[in-house]
Amino acid sequence: MKVYSNISQLLTLSGAHAKDGRKLVDSDLSLIENASIVVDDELIHWVGKTEDLPEDYKKIPTTNLSGHIVTPEIVDSHTHLVFGGNRSFEYGLRLKGATYEEIATAGGGILHTADKTAHLSEEELFKTACARIERINSYGVGTIEIKSGYGLNFEAEYKISKAINKLKEHFQPRIKIVRTYMAAHAVPKSFLSSQQFIDELVIPLMEKLQSEDLIDIVDIFHEKNYFTDEDTRKLFTKAQGLGLKVKMHADEMNDNNGAAIAAEFSALSADHLLQVSDAGIRALAASPTVATILPGTALFLGKPLAPARNMIDAGVKLAIASDYNPGSCHCDNLILLTSISAKNLGLTPVEIWAGITLNAAHALGLYEQGAIIAGHRPRLSVFKASTHEEIFYSWGRNLSVKI
Cα pseudo-dihedral 319, 324, 330, 334, rounded to 10: 40
DSSP 294-353: -HHHHHHHT-PPP-HHHHHHTT-EEEE---BBTTTB----HHHHHHHHHHHHT--HHHHH
Closest by alpha carbon to 219, among 190, 168, 261? 261
Under 8 Å between Cβ of 316 and 278: no
Q: Based on CB atoms, which residue is closest to a second copy, 100 or 393?
A: 393
CB of 193 to a second copy, least distance (A): 33
CB of 21 to a second copy, least distance (A): 18
CB of 175 to a second copy, least distance (A): 19
CB of 250 to a second copy, least distance (A): 23
Q: Based on CB atoms, which residue is closest to a second copy, 242 or 331?
A: 331
d(CA 293, CA 287): 17
Under 8 Å between Cβ of 319 and 290: yes
Q: Based on CB atoms, which residue is closest to a second copy, 40 or 389?
A: 389
Q: Based on CB atoms, which residue is closest to a second copy, 92 or 204?
A: 92
CB of 337 to a second copy, least distance (A): 8
CB of 347 to a second copy, least distance (A): 7
Q: Based on CB atoms, which residue is closest to a second copy, 29 or 260?
A: 29
Q: Based on CB atoms, which residue is closest to a second copy, 253 or 301?
A: 301
Cα pseudo-dihedral 5, 11, 12, 18, rounded to 10: 160
Q: Based on CB atoms, which residue is closest to a second copy, 199 or 390?
A: 390
Q: What residues line the site for a second copy (CB under 8 A)? A: 26, 86-89, 91-92, 94-97, 296, 299-302, 330-333, 336, 340-344, 346-349, 352, 385-387, 389-390, 392-396
Contacts of 107 (CB under 8 A, 6+ apart): none
Under 8 Å between Cβ of 365 and 288: no
**How many other CB atoms are found less than 10 A from the CB of residue 143?**
25
d(CA 24, CA 211): 40
CB of 27 to a second copy, least distance (A): 13
